[in-house]
Amino acid sequence: MSRLCWTGGEVLRLHQLRPMRMGKVRVRAAGRRGGGAAGQSLPQLTLLPSNPAAPQPHLPVLDERRSRSTTFIGLKVNSVLNTPASTGMGFWSINPYVGCEFGCHYCYARDTHRWAVERAGRLSDLPPEEAFEKEILVKTDVADVLSRTLNPAKLAGHSLVIGTATDPYQPAERQFRLTRRILEVLRSYHGLSIGIITKSSLVSRDLDLLQALSSRHEVTVNISLATADARLARLLELRSPVPAARLRALRRLTEGGIHAGLLVAPIIPGVTDDWAGLARLLEAAKEAGARYVVGSALRLGPAARHRFLPFLTREFPALAERYRRHYAGKDHVSQSYQDALNRRLRLLKQTYGFSIEEGMRRRRQLEGRLPRKETVDGAEQAILL
């Protein structure tokens, strides 16, 4: 009579099995009679623990903002400076937070949150594109680590940019003040090129410190704003400060002697790249005293697509399929679109009296390279496809 045996999720019918020898131990299969301890079954080896979720490292919850379902989680770090080799850009960078409450639909940095969470060994119940804005990792010791590890000689003339993968002045900064502590550390050095990127009007809180830094370093503050249209800005950026608040912060910085300008980023094809919208934005920047304007087209990486493409389908359905075709297999716009956009921005900068050379210089600081020279003259409409 044969027996049934369960192995690896399959039921097998076993006939007479031959005995197996393992060293000096003789083991008889379950279907064979005879031999000591007959009728007894050997204990099953545990392939996986009964609870498949491995214990998570202790990452303390520092605070919760229930009105937005946001959790702030402490993260200890051994290093805080990102090298050009690690990012592929021509500058060093530092980010005091991982994730951002502003929740911009197009944000390219959502992947960085997933990587940081995976490295920390923490599990989240939220999909990565949502965890990015709901579970903010706070590098509580970022200033201390920076003070121990920063060697200006290693920067080798490259800029140090604060806020490349998260906004350093997002709402968490009001409570944790990590960005201010970073600036306080940098105040003890001389001769650095320091850039800040932010959408937040909170940056003007640190005007006194930025003034002190500007006497020892080259300091630039880039106020990021994609549109002057408040309704459209709220649609694209769920919780970012309204355009008027950012422009007021820009004015306060420039009136305080800070070299600050407008970062028109991202320029979203078919949504914020029209002549009238860009002209209105550059006019507002000029009125706020912006020293320069830099424009950058939408970058659409894998994580951002999960959030942005459904948004387009819902809000701009005529563009959704064109985006899927245009960005298929790549994260950036085509060179022909970029060339047309560069020409448009150049004409608008000339119209409103912004220096082309200064804009290129600041773009190089932010991107680590000069933009490719346009190959075609003209002012035609920039089109996605």
Q: What is the pLDDT of residues 348-381, one digit of tens each?
A: 999 999 999 999 888 888 776 534 444 444 444 4
Residues 28 and 65 in one domain: no
- Please report which confidence band the pLDDT of residue 52 belongs to, taking 50, 70 and 90 as the band edges: very low
Contact yes or no for 339/376 (Cβ under 8 A): yes
Residues 66 and 25 in one domain: no
Residues 169 and 24 in one domain: no
Q: How far apart are CA 202 and CA 102, in angstroms?
A: 13
- State the average pLDDT over residues 61-88: 90
Contact yes or no for 53/123 (Cβ under 8 A): yes
Q: Would you state the pLDDT for residue 327?
A: 92
Mean pLDDT for the chain overall: 83
Residues 314 and 360 in one domain: yes
Residues 352 and 211 in one domain: yes
The angle formed by the CA atoms of residues 355, 356 and 359, to the nearest 5 degrees, is 90
pLDDT surpassing 70 at residue 34: no
- State the average pLDDT over residues 4-13: 39
pLDDT in tens, 326-355: 998 899 999 999 999 999 999 999 999 999
Q: Looking at the domain assignment, is residue 253 inside a domain?
A: yes
pLDDT surpassing 90 at residue 383: no
Residues 14 and 96 in one domain: no
Q: Looking at the domain assignment, is residue 233 inside a domain?
A: yes
Residues 243 and 353 in one domain: yes
Residues 25 and 147 in one domain: no
Q: pTM for the complete prediction? A: 0.80
Residues 305 and 188 in one domain: yes
Q: Would you state the pLDDT for residue 376?
A: 40
**Closest residue by Cα to residue 193 from 369, 371, 357, 365:** 365
Q: How far apart are CA 283 and CA 302, in angstroms?
A: 34
pLDDT in tens, 282-295: 999 999 999 999 99
- State the average pLDDT over residues 215-236: 97
Task: Give the chain's domain count.
Answer: 2
Q: Looking at the domain assignment, is residue 45 inside a domain?
A: no
pLDDT in tens, 241-263: 999 999 999 999 999 999 999 99
Q: Looking at the domain assignment, is residue 237 inside a domain?
A: yes
Q: Looking at the domain assignment, is residue 181 inside a domain?
A: yes
Q: Are strands 92-94 and 3-7 parallel, antiparallel or unpaired?
A: unpaired
Q: Looking at the domain assignment, is residue 275 inside a domain?
A: yes
pLDDT surpassing 60 at residue 204: yes
pLDDT in tens, 126-182: 777 778 889 999 999 999 999 999 999 999 889 999 999 899 999 999 999 999 999
CATH number at residue 87: 3.20.20.70
pLDDT surpassing 90 at residue 62: yes
Residues 3 and 136 in one domain: no
φ, ψ for residue 273, nearest 5 deg: -100, 10
| Residue found by looking up tokens 């355009």 in the block | 243
- Please report which confidence band the pLDDT of residue 43 belongs to, taking 50, 70 and 90 as the band edges: low
- Across 139-170, b (16+ Cβ under 10 Å) vs e yields bbbbbebbeeebeeeebeebbbbbbbbbbbbb
Q: Looking at the domain assignment, is residue 380 inside a domain?
A: no
Q: Looking at the domain assignment, is residue 182 inside a domain?
A: yes
Residues 218 and 113 in one domain: yes
Q: Which tokens hold the place of 349?
A: 């900068």
Question: Residue 12: which domain range?
Answer: 1-32
CB atoms within 10 A of CB 300: 22
pLDDT in tens, 304-328: 888 899 999 999 999 999 999 999 8
Residues 65 and 28 in one domain: no
Contact yes or no for 72/64 (Cβ under 8 A): yes
